[in-house]
Amino acid sequence: MKKKNIEKIMESSQSRFDEYAELLARRDQLNKEAGSILTCYTQEFGEQLIANFKLKLECIKMKKNISYCRRMINRGVKINVNNMTESVEKEMALYNAQLADMQGQYENAKKSKSVGEFRFSRSKKIYRRLSKLVHPDMNKLTEENEDLQELWNRIVVAYHESNVEELDDLEILVHKKLEDLGVDETKIEVEDIEERIERVERQINDILSTEPYTFREVLADDERKADYHNTLNEEHSNYEEYLETLKKALNELLLGKGMNTTWEMN
């Protein structure tokens, strides 16, 4: 094969390598942005979302109470309020955990501070350079070497925190570690690069077209934000009305309106 042809193949290979590295960095950057968008979304709407979810859980709990009573009535068994409460609370455990998670996210979001443009931009540049060297999808040695794994994990954390100082230190440590391992940074190769590029392109598209990234459209428009606040208020009112309807239905069951039932208290 002629020397010029070899050089063209090498240039093409390097070009695809660089493209893949840029796509990985782009994907990870979008994931980071999605996290920031979610934080802003939670700061803006979290209080209303939690209030609505609490009402939703009250409705679910009431429906479960109604279902329990109907089962007992159909069996001709006396309704024991303690047994009903215990049974329904067990069924509500997962929902209550979701509520606790929402409340935790809201508290964390309220404490979150915005990152300056310089730190954000600087951290992104360092991260892109490091991704080419030790991103697990770029360098398979990262998965095999514990020291590189630890460095990569620290890089990810520092990047999401826009910790420029930590990233600066990590860049030095990465170069030193690769040198100790005898790795030529200019000859890092990626197998099945075409398939990998297609996969990351799909991942990027998924991030851009789904929540929480799409929340940015609402957050960027004051009118749309106001509309969504109104929508959440309407949802709250609807849950309140529905809850009252369910309470009435449960009371009718317990009082035996139209049904033969007994109520046993312990």
Q: How far apart are CA 69 and CA 66, in angstroms?
A: 5
Q: Is the pLDDT of residue 8 over 50?
A: no
What are phi and psi for residue 164, nearest 5 degrees?
Answer: -60, -40
- With 0.75 as the threshold, say if the pTM is over it: yes
Mean pLDDT in residue range 227-253 = 95
In tens, the pLDDT along 181-233 reads: 998 887 777 878 899 999 999 999 999 999 999 999 999 999 999 999 999 99
Q: Is the pLDDT of residue 263 over 60?
A: no
SS3 264: strand
First to last CA, the chain: 92
Res 11: pLDDT: 54
Sequence-ordered alpha helix ranges (H) in 135-221: 141-144, 146-160, 164-180, 193-209, 215-219
Q: Is the pLDDT of residue 250 over 80?
A: yes
In tens, the pLDDT along 103-130 reads: 999 999 998 876 677 888 899 999 999 9
H or E, element range at 80: strand 79-80
Q: Is the pLDDT of residue 97 over 90?
A: yes
Res 115: pLDDT: 63
Instruction: Indicate the residue type of 181.
Output: L
Res 73: pLDDT: 87
SS3 188: coil
Which has more pLDDT, 81 or 28? 28
Mean pLDDT in residue range 68-81 = 88
Q: What is the dihedral of CA 118, 121, 123, 127, to 10 degrees?
A: -170
Of the chain, the percentage scoring pLDDT greater than 70 comes to 90
Res 248: pLDDT: 93
Res 114: pLDDT: 67
**Are 92 and 62 contacting, i.e. CB atoms less than 8 angstroms apart?**
no
**Are 205 and 199 contacting, i.e. CB atoms less than 8 angstroms apart?**
no
Q: How far apart are CA 69 and CA 81, in angstroms?
A: 9
Q: How far apart are CA 221 and CA 39, in angstroms?
A: 17
Q: Is the pLDDT of residue 262 over 60?
A: no
Q: How far apart are CA 226 and CA 218, in angstroms?
A: 9
Residues 6 or more apart whose CB falls under 8 angstroms from that of 103 comprise 50
Res 203: pLDDT: 96
Instruction: Indicate the residue type of 250.
Output: L
Q: How far apart are CA 47 and CA 79, in angstroms?
A: 37
The pairing of beta strand 79-80 with beta strand 263-264: parallel
